[in-house]
Chain A
Amino acid sequence: MKTNIKNSCLNLKGLKSGDEVYFSGIIYTARDQAHKRLVDDIGKGKKAPFDIEGSVVYYCGPTKATKVRVIGSCGPTTSSRMDLFTPILLKKGLRAMIGKGRRSREVVKAIRKYKAVYFLAPAGCGALVSKCVKKAEPVAYSDLGPEQILRLEVENLPLIVAIDRNGRSIYG
């Protein structure tokens, strides 16, 4: 199945693991240290720097933007390193995640519980993915350098549904 989804009306209901989709909309980059901070902040009752409810997070730390490029190479990083933090974000309403590789049992369980989706982006294809990014704005944690949170506007980002809202995974 090939479908186009926009997260202004993010409807994940029809998606099944293995489906290929093209995604257009807003995603937030966050990887290791940003996850640690987000979850720390949530634990302390602080407000997250972006509205996690309904959002899509992309596990990515890009190379630098230039005068002619809004973002550098920006493929996905290994998702499992975020597993420890993910269930907490899902509980806060995180709608979807984009990354590469397997997830822990706890994450799969949380995905099913909160009806979220985990997508794979083309792994090791950062130059190609950069072509789908139309706009990139810093949101928070600029002191983390490449690990800061960016708000990306993407168009036709090629994804594969790895774990659907019922917890079915392409990795079995």
Chain B
Amino acid sequence: MKIINAGKITKVVADLCIKANCFLRPDVLAKIKSACKKETQKKPKKALELIIKNAKIAASEKIAICQDTGLPIVFIEIGQDVKIAGDLKKAIEAGILQGYKSGNFRESIVRDPLMRSRPSYRGAVIHTEIVKGSRIKVTLMPKGFGCENKSFLKMFLPTAGVKEIKEFVIESVKSAGPDACPPYVVGVGIGGGAEYASLLAKKALLKRGLSPREASGIVTDLERDLLNRINKLKIGPMGLGGKFTCLSVNIETYPTHIAGLPVAVNISCHALRSATKIL
């Protein structure tokens, strides 16, 4: 059995904090650059240019892309043939503390959601999954709350169709409007239970490539159609209109109950940040 020291995980998480917060994901940057090229209206084009310039400054000066360095969300897949020596949760939290401190990131976490005491770096959401094999895959997603606040969950009737789902997703983006830093990446989770649909919606944001997958099928068609229809809303970067309200719609699905159809929407701002490392 492979043994991995918890200390090693701390180091990996700390590195991922810097990578995710200072270096915009290449797939996201590529999408923004392509949007900027295609945009013909002056104001939204300029806003996109500023986003590209911002990413450049952040990377070259190792400063956070956005002041909202987010709620750190950790997805950790643990191979069933791996043994972790030490306390995994503590190791992850130590990594976040180290990474956020060394990056001079913002202390955005309140320990008690009701008391709202002085914010700190302590408190991350950790999603653990046991998988086959002998590897550990760690992903850190600093999720800004301007866009997290625009999340939605709806429990549809099982007899509802794709049409209703589409309307719900489009209404969700409409309600976010220009407030949550468009152009957005829209994560949609369909299936599971209420909590799982929400998790799927967030996980959908992790999909790399961010382009409608080539194979056609009900999900791909839905992603493509939603992307087109959301862009017809013409909200645009900073709400200045133009062709790009949305960079990509990513959908994840899962089996669900005969009595229901949970659909969750998790919107990301244009600064969609995440970084992954496999051990």
Tell me the A residues contacting B by CB distance below 8 Å. Answer: 20, 33, 60-66, 69, 72-75, 77-80, 100-102, 120, 122-128, 130-131, 143-147, 158, 160, 170-171
Contacts and interface: CB of A to CB of B under 8 A. Distances in A.
B118 A145 contact: yes
A61 B106 contact: yes
B180 A101 contact: yes
Interface stretch (B59-67, B131-139, B189-197): B59-67
A64 B106 CA distance: 6
B143 interface: no
B178 A158 contact: no
A158 B177 contact: no
B104 to A, nearest CB: 4
B239 A126 contact: no
Contact of B66 (A65, A75, A158): A75
A154 to B, nearest CB: 15
Contact of B50 (A60, A125, A170): A125
Interface of B: 43, 47, 50-51, 53-55, 57-58, 61, 63-69, 103-108, 116, 118-120, 146, 149, 177-181, 237-240, 269-271
Contacts of A80: 179
A101 B179 contact: yes
A102 B67 contact: no
A72 B118 contact: no
B118 A124 contact: no
A62 B69 CA distance: 10
Contacts, number: 132
20 contacts: A33-B116, A65-B104, A66-B104, A69-B63, A72-B64, A77-B67, A80-B179, A101-B177, A101-B179, A122-B51, A123-B237, A123-B269, A125-B50, A125-B54, A126-B54, A127-B61, A128-B50, A128-B57, A143-B118, A144-B119
A127 B57 contact: yes
A168 B271 CA distance: 29
B179 A126 contact: no
A65 B104 CA distance: 7
A77 B47 CA distance: 16
Contacts of A125: 50-51, 53-54, 66
B50 A127 contact: no
A72 B22 CA distance: 12
Query: Sorted from nearest, which 10 A-B pairs have the closest CB atoms?
Result: A101-B179, A125-B54, A64-B104, A73-B64, A126-B67, A127-B58, A124-B181, A128-B54, A73-B67, A127-B57
A78 B146 contact: yes
A63 B239 contact: no
Given A63-B105, A102-B177, A146-B119, 4 more contacts: A63-B69, A144-B119, A146-B106, A160-B238
A107 to B, nearest CB: 13
Contacts of A74: 67
Nearest to A77: B146
Given A64-B104, A72-B106, A130 B238 contact: no
A158 B103 CA distance: 26
A15 to B, nearest CB: 16
Contacts of B181: 100, 123-124
B178 A101 contact: yes
Contacts of A146: 67, 106-108, 119
